[in-house]
Amino acid sequence: MPFYQRLGEVPRKRHIQFRDNGTLLTEEVMGLEGFVGNESILYHLQSPCRVMKLGDFEEIEREEWVPDAHAHRLFNTYDVDPGGDEVTGRRLLMWNGDVEISLARPDEQMDYFFRNGEGDEVVFVHEGSGTVETNFGDVPYKDGDYVVIPRGTTYRFNTEGPQRYLVFETPGLIEIPRRYRNQYGQLLEGAPYYHRDIHPPTELHTHREKGEFPVKVRVRGGYQTYVLDYHPFDVVGWDGYLYPWTFSVHDFEPITGRIHQPPPSHQTFQGRNFVICSFCPRKLDFDELAVPIPYHHSNLQSEEMIYYVSGNFGSRKGVDVGSITLHPSGLPHGPQPGLAEKSIGVRETHELAVMCDTFHPLRLTEFARGIDDGTYAYSWFEEPGATGSDDDPAGVTSHL
Residues that bind Fe ion (CB under 5 A): 304
Least distance CB 277 / Fe ion (angstroms): 10
In Å, how far are 28, 89, 296 from 215, measured between CA atoms? Answer: 18, 17, 48
Least distance CB 326 / Fe ion (angstroms): 11
Parallel, antiparallel, or unpaired: how do β-strands 113-116 and 210-219 relate? parallel
Phi and psi angles of residue 343, each rounded to the nearest 5 degrees, phi first: -75, -15
Least distance CB 57 / Fe ion (angstroms): 40
Q: How many CB atoms lie within 10 A of CB 62?
A: 13
In this complex, which beta carbon is closest to Fe ion, that of residue 40 or of residue 349? 349
- 3-state SS string for 283-321: ECCCCCCCCCCCCCEECCCCEEEEEEEECCCCCCCCCCC
In this complex, which beta carbon is closest to Fe ion, that of residue 244 or of residue 271? 271
Q: How many CB atoms lie within 10 A of CB 297?
A: 14
In this complex, which beta carbon is closest to Fe ion, that of residue 219 or of residue 255? 255
In this complex, which beta carbon is closest to Fe ion, that of residue 304 or of residue 351? 304
Strand partners, 125: 165
Q: How many CB atoms lie within 10 A of CB 367?
A: 20
Least distance CB 68 / Fe ion (angstroms): 24
Least distance CB 21 / Fe ion (angstroms): 59
- Sign, CA torsion 237/243/249/255: positive
Least distance CB 48 / Fe ion (angstroms): 44
Closest residue to Fe ion, Cβ-based?
A: 304
In this complex, which beta carbon is closest to Fe ion, that of residue 10 or of residue 166? 166
